[in-house]
């Protein structure tokens, strides 16, 4: 199935804490890397909501962080559904 062992992706124990800079090839991420990144962004979003609810971060900064996370999520998700 694989020509060499270098074609096999190593298990990353930090999953689901993966961001685009952790991808092996930023130009062509694997489905695993994209899904791990989406899971990371979901967790970041949930943590930011908790921080806002518990007043650990200013509302304006927290809302901006939520917008950035959501934008990044949509951008990464679009990789899975690129037109052919």
pLDDT of amino acid 7: 60
Q: What is this structure's pTM?
A: 0.76
Of the two residues 64 and 8, the one the predictor is more confident about is: 64
Euclidean distance between the first and the last CA atom of the chain, given in angstroms as a whole number:
25
The answer to whether residues 57 and 51 touch, using CB atoms and an 8 Å cutoff, is yes
| pLDDT tens-digit readout, 29-81 | 988 889 999 999 999 999 999 999 999 999 999 999 999 999 999 999 998 88
Dmax over Cα atoms in the chain, in whole Å?
A: 53
Q: Where are the domains of the chain?
A: 14-20+28-80
């Amino acid at each position: 199935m694989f020509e060499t062992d270098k074609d096999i992706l190593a298990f990353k124990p930090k999953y689901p804490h993966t961001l685009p800079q952790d991808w092996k090839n930023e130009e062509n991420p694997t489905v695993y890397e994209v899904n791990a990144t989406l899971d990371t962004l979901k967790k970041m979003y949930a943590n930011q909501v908790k921080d806002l609810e518990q007043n650990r971060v200013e509302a304006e900064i927290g809302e901006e962080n939520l917008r950035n996370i959501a934008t990044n999520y949509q951008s990464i998700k679009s990789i899975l559904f690129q037109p052919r």
